[in-house]
Amino acid sequence: MTAPINFTAESLAQEAMTAQRKLSAGLDTLHEVDDIDYGATAREEVWRDGKVALYRFRGEQAPTAKAPLLIAYALVNRPYMVDLQADKSIVRGLLERGQDVYILDWGYPDRSDRYLELEDYIQRFLGGAVDHLRREYRQDAINLLGICQGGAFSLCYSALNPAKVRNLITMVTPVDFHTRDNMLSNWTRGLDVDQFVDTLGNVPADVMNWCYLTLKPWRLFVQKYVGLIDILDDKRALEDFLRMEKWIFDSPDQAGEAFRQFIKQFYQGNGFVNGGIDIGGRAVDLGYVDMPVLNIYAEQDHLVPPAASKALKDLVGSEDYSELSFKGGHIGIYVSGRAQREVPGAIHDWLTQRSR
């Protein structure tokens, strides 16, 4: 007879035997797992400023796009999420469609970077990479793809330097930091960031990771590791899992002064909406973002809720504004099968329509 919660002594015994078999097989599988690496696509360094490097991806075919596409990722994680592995690579999808793709790697800040400011990241590093590409391609403006915090940086850069950005794409980018469903914002609005940074200097990566993981404690502390048992006898699935874990915990420290400014001006001041973002003495007004804009958001994003991203529509000065809704989460938009089918093609088609 089946119990109300639908398990029996026999089914429990069978499940226990299956788990035991999986664990036993896992010991053999772990011996077979290769060194976990990332990056599916060849790349070469083409420009550097200190720890910050600009890389060009090399696809199997020559690019056909007229202007290069520069990707700016967030500071809190490594940018190789967009090129994690061969079957999970937004970069590879863009290259296959003829885009000429570059990425900015912020590097790993140390104590010597304690006093880097947002101006350094936006105008010096991001701006330096843009200017390098403008010189190399002998073009006045390039295409810019900003992801998450990198999208916020890209919006600031585009507002301050609109003539240098031909087309702007923002992906899972926070714009309105005070939406009710933004858990991360609700936490940080009460943070004494001055005491925090004055005490720590640079913000340790482990502190940042702990904050992100505790946004979904059951899913990220328990459920995914319980589910690991199901793939212990599958070498490829186990390698995929370990590669993702490596990305999650391969996080740089945050330069203290830039962190202080970002929390105050964006999370606490909601500067895109209310004003008050100051980059090197210049005010950021999204009304000056007058180039074509494609804003891509994820419907199940717990870090950047859709409403936080969609607020961009009413703030930019562009007459050519488009939105793309993705059925997935903040990470799935890069690595899911749906993402590989939908995202690179949508970006390529949008850019192609504006390159004529």
Whether 148 is catalytic: yes
- Catalytic residue selected from 90, 148, 197, 347: 148
HEC letters along the chain: CCCCCCCCHHHHHHHHHHHHHHHHHHHHHHHHCCCCCCCCCEEEEEEEECCEEEEEEECCCCCCCCCCEEEECCCCCCHHHHEEECCEEHHHHHHHCCCCEEEEECCCCCHHHCCCCHHHHHHHHHHHHHHHHHHHHCCCCEEEEEECHHHHHHHHHHHHCHHHEEEEEEECCCCCCCCCCCHHHHHHCCCCHHHHHHHHCCECHHHHHHHHHCCCHHHHHHHHHHHHHHHCCCHHHHHHHHHHHHHHHCCCCECHHHHHHHHHHHHHCCHHHHCCCEECCEECCHHHCCCCEEEEEECCCCCCCHHHHHHHHHCCCCCCEEEEEECCCCCHHHHCHHHHHHHHHHHHHHHHHCCC
List active site positions. 148
